[in-house]
Amino acid sequence: MWWYVGKRLLQTIPVFLGATLILFILLKLRPGDPILNLAGNKPVSDEVRDALAAQYHLDDPLFVQWFQFVKSAITLDFGETFSGQPVFDLIKQTFPVTVTLAIMALAIDAILGIGLGTIAGLRRNGWFDSSVLVVSLLLLSIPIFVVGFVMQLVFGVKLGWTSPTVGSDWTVSSLILPAIVLAIANFAYTIRLTRTSVAENLSADHVRTARAKGLSNRLVVRDHVLRNSLVPVVTYIGINLGSLMAGAIITETIFNIPGIGNAAYTAIQKGETSTVVAIVTFMVMVYVLMSLLVDLLYAVLDPRIRYV
């Protein structure tokens, strides 16, 4: 198994190189001149423009820029933002809150999703199943920014149970509301996925065998139905952690959470190539590691899966 893990880790090298190259090409395709953004409405002289462009390597050929980036990235030097903050510091500062938020959302998603999904699957076509189906459909169809603003208004402003925004002095408790908002759309999926999977396994041969052996219903559900049903669910949830982090921009903006999604968004707006590439590459790496983690979890859930 360690061999497998090592092999997978080695695979991240081409992923890193490929991702950064694609990012550089994409950002190069973005028309416009970042220096003009810096200058705003006011004129900027050619001398100053060229000097600034040289400082951030904006005028170098694409491959030279990419090579420079990779070379310094190896020593964890990702350059500086236009305001002079090292990009590495920016990531260090913004990543923790995003991870915390994503993990909290993921926990809500997993606990509620798997729990409700299992019950719905066991009592297929009952009133519980039907109402969960309707509610999850509803949640799926409401865009996240609507849920976000409504929850913020109700719980933050009207009821005053929690501060409507988070700010940079964030605590885990202040992230509960945004985490719920972030979890809502995903956990509707999780419910449906778990329900279908459980329902399918209930009629599988090994479950019938287990019942025939005289095992109690609780044991059958826990060891034989649920564990086998979780493979697709774990895949979904695991991959979701990546998208929860990258896709939290809307939630982060609504609740003023200074996370990594926002840092990336601001950098894209300003055309700060190296900042964008560094952040997105970092996210790609997180994604790759998450999928490795998910793959390892498969073996825990399904003894038939082995790694060599």
Partner 1 sequence: MRLTRRTRLAGVAMIAAAGLTLAACGGGSDDGGSGGGGGDNVITVYGTNPQNPLIPTATNEVGGGDPLNNLFSGLTAYNSDGSIVNEVAESIEPNEDSTVWTIKLKPWKFTDGTDVTADSFVNAWNYGADAANKQLNNYFFYPIAGTDENGNTLDGAKTMTGLKVIDDTSFEITLKNPESDFPLRLGYSAYFPVPESAYGSDGKITKEYGEAPIGNGPYKLTKSGWERNKQISMEPNPDYTGAHKPENKGLVFKFYAGGGTDAAYTDVQSNNGNLDVLDQVPPSALKTFEDDDKISAYNEPGSNFSSFTIPDRLAHFKGEEGQLRRAAISMAINRPQITEKIFNDTRTPATDFTSPVLDGWTEDVPGNEVLQFNEAEAKKLWAQADAISKWDGSFQLAYNSDGAGNKEFVDAVTNQIATVLGIDSSGKVYPTFDELREEVTNRTIKTAFRTGWQADYPSMLNYLGPIYATKAGSNDGDYSNKKFDQLISEASSSDGDERYAKISEAQTLLLTDLPAIPLWYQNATAATSKNLKGFEFNWQQKPDYYKLTK
- With respect to partner 1, which residue has the nearer C-beta, 135 or 153? 153
Minimal distance, residue 197 CB to partner 1, in Å: 20
> Would you count residue 304 as binding partner 1 (CB under 8 A)?
no
Here's the x/- map for partner 1, 199-238, by CB under 8 A: it reads as ----------------------------------------
Q: Please answer whether residues 228 and 298 qualify as being in contact, where contact means their C-beta atoms are separated by less than 8 angstroms.
A: no
The residues in 62-81 that bind partner 1, with binding defined as CB under 8 A, are none
Residue whose tokens read 């169809």: 141
| Measured CA distances, 280 to 107, 303, 307 (Å) | 24, 35, 30
- With respect to partner 1, which residue has the nearer C-beta, 215 or 250? 250
> Would you count residue 163 as binding partner 1 (CB under 8 A)?
yes
| Measured CA distances, 295 to 3, 107, 127, 238 (Å) | 14, 19, 36, 9
> Would you count residue 270 as binding partner 1 (CB under 8 A)?
yes
> Would you count residue 7 as binding partner 1 (CB under 8 A)?
no
How many CB atoms lie under 10 A from the CB of residue 15? 14
- With respect to partner 1, which residue has the nearer C-beta, 117 or 271? 271
> Would you count residue 143 as binding partner 1 (CB under 8 A)?
no
Please report the DSSP string for 215-251 in residue order: --HHHIIIIIIIHHHHHHHHHHHHHHHHHHHHTTHHH
SS in 3 state form for 24-41? HHHHHHCCCCHHHHHHCC
Minimal distance, residue 119 CB to partner 1, in Å: 25
Minimal distance, residue 60 CB to partner 1, in Å: 17
> Would you count residue 39 as binding partner 1 (CB under 8 A)?
yes
Here's the x/- map for partner 1, 95-124, by CB under 8 A: it reads as xxx-xx--x---------------------
Taking CB under 8 A as the criterion, the residue among 14, 43, 143, 214 binding partner 1 is 43
| Measured CA distances, 264 to 194, 249, 271 (Å) | 33, 9, 10
